[in-house]
DNA sequence: AGCTAATTGTG
DNA sequence: ACAATTAGC
């Protein structure tokens, strides 16, 4: 046995998890002031106050030839399909960043909402796997020296990631349960049929199903659609956010525990600075607003390829005769909605009502 | 980072 | 009658 000296250094975040605090020493629980503070803190430490880690040549060779890829890859090649969508290299990560910052970032504020457009940077899997550093991304954006709203919106997303890490550091109990304790009494529904329909992209709501299938096929999902499917699981189906967290954990190439847990709690309304529970996405409206022609839906739900834009987000409303004419029978080629939006929404609101008293007295 | 029913404004 | 705005969930 030999002893190896070691030190801890921060990983792929801008600031150490425990650096950003309010003046009174307590952690931020609201995003905007957190990010104002965190960005300023990071800026003041740039560029040369951060010490570089010296490479240690001796130790470098310690693990050489110890790890063989064929031994750590899964036996079945289920992961092969990802090669269609991702090139996992440091070089590709920086190429994507350069392209995004040079060509797309000024449209990000608008384009990011449309899942059929490549309006986002697609960097999350690279960040998660250490092929690009969030500091490099942040600095590249700042070099544009612009107050452009799109650039701000983009760096804001880095901010949410920082916020998630900070929250998990100060409130590690979030990993196990609701940050807002009153949600411990929330009447979640146990329904494995519904949960499986959600996971498989067979809920009967095209925008939800497209997202869930994109996730399973590519290991990634567009952010607006993450909100839509998250809201649907937690509010329309009233299934505990932990089930959604678990599924995303299993499927996402950009999976990161802090982000995943904090964002699921945000969607469910039980997290910090969370979306209020009564803010319920209407999956039909979200589709009509952000995928008007149904391009995204048709890409991932090919059985709806013949449905016209007017019905693409509510195909069950097509007349029977018309369904037959285009050979798309709802209930046979594609499922009927597993819940009715209006009823699910009303039920979610009344379930929320049952714990609401406790919230207002907090 | 929403939705919907109710209300007010317009011709 | 319809559009725009707002309150409340």
> How do residues A144-171 score in pLDDT, each as one tens digit?
989 999 999 999 999 999 999 999 999 9
pLDDT tens, A257-291? 999 999 999 999 999 999 999 999 999 999 999 99
Q: What is the pLDDT of residue A298?
A: 98
How distant, in Å, are the alpha carbons of A76, A78, A145 from that of A71? 12, 16, 47
Inside any domain, residue A285: yes
| Structure confidence at residue A51 (pLDDT) | 60
Residues A108, A44 share a domain? no
Residue A158 maps to which CATH number?
1.25.40.80
Show the domain range for A29. Answer: 4-53
Neighbours of A190 (CB within 10 A): 10
- Domain co-membership, A138 together with A285: no
Across chain A, what does the average pLDDT equal? 93
- Cβ proximity of A96 and A119 under 8 Å: no
**Residue A216 shares a structural domain with residue A343:** yes
- In this prediction, residue A68 has a pLDDT band, given cuts at 50, 70 and 90, of confident
Which pLDDT score is estimated for A75? 86
- Given A198, A220, A264, A300, the catalytic residue: A264
Angle between helix A90-99 and helix A134-142 axes, rounded to 10 deg:
20
Could you tell me if A130 and A239 lie in one domain? no
Predicted pLDDT of residue A115 = 98
- Report how far residue A165's alpha carbon sits from residue A15's, in angstroms, rounded to the nearest whole number: 10
Where do runs of H (alpha helix) occur along chain A?
Answer: 31-45, 57-60, 69-72, 90-99, 108-111, 124-128, 134-142, 149-170, 192-200, 206-218, 223-231, 241-251, 257-268, 283-290, 295-300, 320-325, 341-360
CB A284 within 7 Å, strand C: no
Q: In this predicted model, what pLDDT tens digit does every residue of A291-301 receive, in sequence order?
A: 999 999 999 99
Same domain, A49 and A98: no
Candidates A223, A288, A316, A333; catalytic one: A223
Query: pTM for this structure?
Result: 0.94
Our count of domains for chain A comes to: 3
With 0-12 / 13-18 / 19 or more C-beta atoms within 10 angstroms meaning exposed / middle / buried, residue A340 is: middle
Same domain? For A242 and A357 the reply is yes
A15 is catalytic: no
pLDDT tens readout for residues A94-129: 999 999 999 999 999 999 999 999 999 999 999 999
Q: What is the pLDDT of residues A208-228, one digit of tens each?
A: 999 999 999 999 999 999 999
Lowest mean pLDDT among A44-58, A236-250, A331-345: A44-58
Nucleotide nearest to A349 (CA to C1'): C9
Scanning the structure block, which residue is given the tokens 């979200």? A286
Q: Nearest nucleotide (C1') to the CA of residue A277?
A: C9
Return the pLDDT at A138: 97
A331: CB partners within 8 A, 6+ apart: A316
* Residues A192, A163 share a domain: no
Query: Do A160 and A136 fall within a single domain?
Result: yes
Residues facing strand B, Cβ within 7 A: A 31, 153, 157, 160, 223, 227, 275, 278-282, 285-286, 289, 341-342, 345
Q: What Å value separates CA A303 and C1' B9?
A: 45
The answer on A322 and A274 residing in a single domain is yes
Residue A361 has pLDDT above 50, yes or no: no
Nearest nucleotide from residue A289 CA, by C1' atom: B2
CATH classification of the domain holding A221? 1.10.579.10
Residue A47 in this model has a pLDDT that exceeds 90: no
């Amino acid at each position: 046995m030999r002893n190896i000296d070691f030190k801890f250094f921060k990983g792929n975040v801008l600031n150490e998890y425990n650096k950003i605090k309010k003046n009174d020493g307590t952690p931020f629980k609201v995003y905007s002031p957190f990010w104002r503070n965190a960005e300023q803190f990071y800026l003041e430490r740039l560029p040369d106050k951060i010490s570089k880690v010296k490479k240690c040549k001796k130790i470098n060779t310690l693990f050489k030839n110890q790890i063989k890829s064929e031994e750590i890859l899964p036996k079945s090649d289920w992961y092969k399909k990802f090669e269609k969508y991702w090139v996992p290299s440091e070089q590709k990560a920086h190429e994507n960043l350069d392209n995004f910052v040079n060509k797309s970032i000024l449209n990000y504020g608008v384009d990011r909402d449309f899942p059929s457009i490549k309006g986002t940077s697609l960097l999350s899997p690279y960040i998660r796997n250490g092929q690009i550093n969030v500091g490099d991304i942040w600095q590249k954006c700042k070099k544009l020296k612009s107050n452009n709203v799109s650039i701000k919106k983009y760096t804001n997303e880095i901010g949410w990631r920082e916020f998630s890490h900070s929250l998990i550091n100060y409130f590690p109990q979030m990993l196990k349960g609701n940050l807002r304790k009153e949600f411990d009494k929330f009447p979640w529904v146990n329904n494995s049929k519904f949960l499986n329909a959600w996971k498989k992209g067979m809920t009967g709501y095209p925008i939800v199903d497209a997202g869930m299938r994109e996730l399973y096929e590519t290991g990634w999902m567009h952010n607006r659609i993450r909100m839509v499917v998250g809201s649907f699981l937690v509010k329309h189906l009233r299934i505990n956010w932990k089930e959604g967290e678990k599924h995303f954990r299993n499927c996402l190439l950009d999976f990161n525990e802090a982000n995943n847990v904090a964002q699921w709690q945000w969607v469910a309304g039980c997290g910090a600075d969370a979306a209020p529970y009564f803010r319920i996405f209407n999956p039909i409206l979200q589709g009509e607003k952000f995928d008007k022609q149904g391009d995204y839906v048709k890409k991932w739900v090919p059985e709806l390829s013949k449905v016209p834009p007017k019905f693409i987000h509510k195909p069950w409303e097509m007349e029977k005769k018309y369904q037959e004419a285009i050979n798309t029978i709802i209930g046979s080629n594609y499922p009927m909605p597993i819940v009715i939006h209006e009823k699910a929404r009303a039920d979610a609101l009344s379930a929320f009502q049952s714990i609401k008293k406790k919230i207002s007295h907090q």
